[in-house]
Amino acid sequence: MKKIIRRIHFVAFFLATLLANSQTLPEPNTPWVKIFSEEFDGNAVDTNDWIVRNNERQGFSTNSLDVSNGTLKINNTYPTGGRPVGGWIESRRKPIGDERYGYYEARVRITADPNGKIWPTWWIWGKNFRNGAPGPTATEFDLMEYSGFAKKFFENKATTSHHYSEKRVLNGKTKIDASIESVRTRNAFEWHTWGMYWSPTEVSFYYDGVKYLTSDQPIDAANDPYDMSLILSCSPHTIDVVDYNSGAGGFQPNNVDQATAAQPSQTLPSFEIDWVRVWSLGSTVGTNDCQGLPNEVCQRINIANTNFKVQTVGESCDGNTNGKINIEATEQLAYTATIEGTSNSKNFETSTSFDGLENGAYIVCITADGLADFKQCFEVVIKESNAANIDLSIYNVSEN
């Protein structure tokens, strides 16, 4: 039986030890935190966590949702003389600003090859309706999307896309898609995990823990001011059905090929979801847990949070310029330490030091080869060695 993990509050804090002649920075207590986990272990969608759409004219009904045997099934029907209907749930928790950054993953499958007749999607979106009024569409991340378009343009394979905010044209396009060569390697008709890592400087997509696509416009996503929803949706992909997926909550264009569009009385497969999980880059709400993350994603943040010890040694006398900053790393990697605002930098694997420093405040930032968005900065103050108190703070920065 899978365990349902709910939100757990805890306090994260930093502990600093002041020494008369030196200062050792503590290891920050901000690891990956699992802030949400939906395992679908009950017998209905938990409406404390999910908003369920229920408007059959627009194509979605609570009757299409079946939670049983540890999974959610979104079923699709198109009865003769009736309307095509599927299901849609979206998260009540809508991360905004820095709270959006982290890793999102779901284990899903389409129960049979629908030959383009349904539109199942695991996606993250800020919608295109603001308080009920039409407005510019927000950033859209389609982690796993299949439809009649997949049948028509992608050899019947599920696709992955990052649609830029407001559908703006950047470098001649409004989105980035996985290439046809890439989509051929993935199978949406079997159980697999589809994930996304999102930081201020990177948006990357993962399949069974392996990265396969990185967006060329992560800054555009970072600058989008709108809150985002996790969405699991599926409905028959149809053509020429009046008001179907239209209005405030409908999003299905009627331009699928007639040959592959869903038709009345056809038996259609379901979109099945095993679980949905979200990890944050250091939230103070959740459960400390790196298990289940791709190794690359887990490593890049844990390095920043647990790896470094920085020590300052003050000048013997004011004006002697013999102050020092010592840096030690627990994990051996190719690092570069730089004193911000200067050309003073050191390459190292386990330890290094900056010598000949005057009294004053310094910001030392550390980067690591192969981890593009990793940057850990420490603000330190060097004073005369007889200074009894040293003012020190620590903060994290993620940037190129």
pLDDT digits (tens, 9 = 90+) for 365-399: 998 886 666 778 888 888 876 543 443 333 333 33
Task: Please tell me whether residue 150 adopts helix, strand or coil conformation.
Answer: helix
φ, ψ dihedrals at 22, nearest 5°:
-155, 165
Judge whether residue 54 has pLDDT over 80. yes
CB 316 within 8 A of CB 385: yes
CB atoms within 10 A of CB 218: 19
CA 29/CA 248 separation, integer angstroms: 43
CA 389/CA 383 separation, integer angstroms: 9
DSSP string, 301-342: HHHHHHSEEEEEE--SSTT---EEEEEEESS---EEEEETTS
Give the mean pLDDT of 108-129.
89
Question: What is the predicted pLDDT for the residue at 331?
Answer: 77
Question: What is the predicted pLDDT for the residue at 347?
Answer: 96
Q: Which residues contact 383 (CB under 8 A, 6 or more apart)?
A: 314, 315, 359, 390
The CA radius of gyration of the chain, in Å to the nearest whole number, is 25
In the chain, the amino acid numbered 351 is S
Judge whether residue 12 has pLDDT over 50. no
Question: What is the predicted pLDDT for the residue at 172?
Answer: 93
**Percent of the chain whose pLDDT exceeds 70:** 75
> For residue 76, with 0-12 CB atoms within 10 Å meaning exposed, 13-18 middle and 19 or more buried, which class applies?
buried
Nearest partner of 374 among 218, 202, 215, 228, judged by Cα? 202
pLDDT digits (tens, 9 = 90+) for 297-336: 876 666 655 678 888 887 656 667 888 999 998 878 889 9
Torsion of CA 120, 250, 102, 213, to 10 degrees: 50
State the Cα angle at 132 between 128 and 135, rounded to 5°. Answer: 35
Q: To which residue do tokens 């404390």 refer?
A: 48
CB 170 within 8 A of CB 164: yes
Q: Which residues contact 337 (CB under 8 A, 6 or more apart)?
A: 327, 345, 346, 348, 352, 354, 364, 365, 366
**Percent of the chain whose pLDDT exceeds 90:** 48
Judge whether residue 276 has pLDDT over 90. yes
CB atoms within 10 A of CB 283: 23
190 falls in which pLDDT band (50, 70, 90)?
A: very high
Question: What is the predicted pLDDT for the residue at 225?
Answer: 84
Which range is most confident: 64-78, 212-226, 273-287?
64-78
Judge whether residue 3 has pLDDT over 50. no
Nearest partner of 50 among 226, 224, 229, 184, judged by Cα? 229
Question: What is the predicted pLDDT for the residue at 14?
Answer: 21
Q: What is the mean pLDDT of the chain?
A: 80
Q: Is 0.85 surpassed by the pTM of this model?
A: no
CA 3 → CA 40, 41, 275, distances in Å? 10, 8, 11
CA 380/CA 361 separation, integer angstroms: 6
Question: What is the predicted pLDDT for the residue at 268?
Answer: 96
384/119: higher pLDDT: 119
Question: What is the predicted pLDDT for the residue at 317?
Answer: 62
Judge whether residue 340 has pLDDT over 50. yes
Which range is most confident: 255-259, 266-270, 389-393?
266-270
CB atoms within 10 A of CB 44: 13
- And the tokens for 207? 């399949």
CA 69/CA 40 separation, integer angstroms: 8
249 falls in which pLDDT band (50, 70, 90)?
A: very low
CA 142 → CA 101, 228, 309, distances in Å? 16, 13, 40
Judge whether residue 221 has pLDDT over 80. yes
Which range is most confident: 104-113, 122-131, 236-245?
104-113
